[in-house]
């Protein structure tokens, strides 16, 4: 199919690379995660407005750091203000991306232990081999840990994030198809 979408030439060589390649699978995964994060943020805002989610405390940005220093305040005593839990979606999306990629690679290694035993570095850093459920499990675990750390309801967040996750999964599967990973070698 179309595993490589475009090669962007770089003005100078960086570590042996003279162009930046955009792969269809990676692009679609990023688009899926961004779409899911946007949809989840909208739903979290709605749940916050109707009172189903509590506010989270965020630093008050009306008072800049330079004003705080002039008044003798350090960062530990910075004023906090309540906000919608949707402000956490950037961090949650980052946890999902990092946890998803690391978990997908780790499960691939677990499934192919004989290949890993023969060539550990080659298996860890090869270009293929990501397992969806490994990425899902590690990303979900990191997000649950993050939500519990902020005393937020995992059940309500899961309810808010589920529609975006299904859309992200579908977009990611389109990336698989574009990369040539379709059924029967299509």
- Are 98 and 116 contained in the same domain? yes
pLDDT mean by block of 10 residues, the chain; 186 residues = 85 84 89 94 94 87 60 65 90 93 90 87 77 89 95 92 93 88 66
| Boundary-marking domain end, from 32, 66, 83 | 83
- Are 48 and 117 contained in the same domain? yes
- Are 172 and 148 contained in the same domain? yes
What confidence score (pLDDT) does residue 92 get?
93
- Are 79 and 155 contained in the same domain? no
- Are 35 and 75 contained in the same domain? no
Residue whose tokens read 């030439």: 9
- Are 88 and 75 contained in the same domain? no
Alpha carbons 33 and 93: distance in angstroms, whole number: 7
CA 163 remoteness from chain centre: 16
- How many domains does the structure of the chain reveal? 2
Alpha carbons 133 and 100: distance in angstroms, whole number: 9
- Are 33 and 106 contained in the same domain? yes
- Are 135 and 68 contained in the same domain? no
- Are 43 and 130 contained in the same domain? yes
| Boundary-marking domain end, from 65, 83, 101 | 83
Q: What would the DSSP string read from start to end of 36-53?
A: HHHHHHHHHHHHHHTTSS
Hey, which residues does 80 pair with through a beta bridge?
59
- Are 15 and 74 contained in the same domain? no
Alpha carbons 22 and 127: distance in angstroms, whole number: 13
Reported pTM: 0.77
Alpha carbons 125 and 57: distance in angstroms, whole number: 40
- Are 14 and 105 contained in the same domain? yes
- Are 29 and 71 contained in the same domain? no
Structural domain boundaries, residue 63: 57-83
């Amino acid at each position: 199919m179309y595993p490589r979408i475009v090669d962007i030439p770089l003005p100078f060589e960086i570590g042996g690379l003279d162009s930046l390649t955009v792969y269809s699978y990676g692009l679609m995964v990023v688009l899926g995660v961004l779409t899911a994060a946007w949809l989840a943020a909208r739903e979290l805002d709605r749940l916050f407005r109707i009172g189903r989610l509590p506010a989270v405390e965020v630093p008050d940005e009306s008072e800049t750091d330079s004003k705080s220093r002039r008044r003798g305040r350090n960062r530990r005593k910075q004023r906090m203000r309540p906000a919608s839990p949707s402000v956490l979606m950037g961090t949650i999306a980052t946890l999902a991306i990092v946890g998803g990629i690391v978990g997908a690679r780790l499960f691939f290694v677990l499934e192919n232990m004989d290949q890993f035993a023969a060539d550990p570095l080659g298996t860890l850093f090869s270009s293929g081999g990501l397992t969806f459920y490994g990425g899902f499990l590690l990303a979900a675990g990191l997000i649950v840990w993050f939500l519990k750390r902020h005393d937020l309801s995992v059940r309500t967040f899961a309810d808010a994030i589920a529609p975006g996750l299904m859309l992200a999964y579908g977009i990611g599967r389109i990336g698989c198809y574009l990369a040539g990973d379709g059924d029967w070698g299509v």
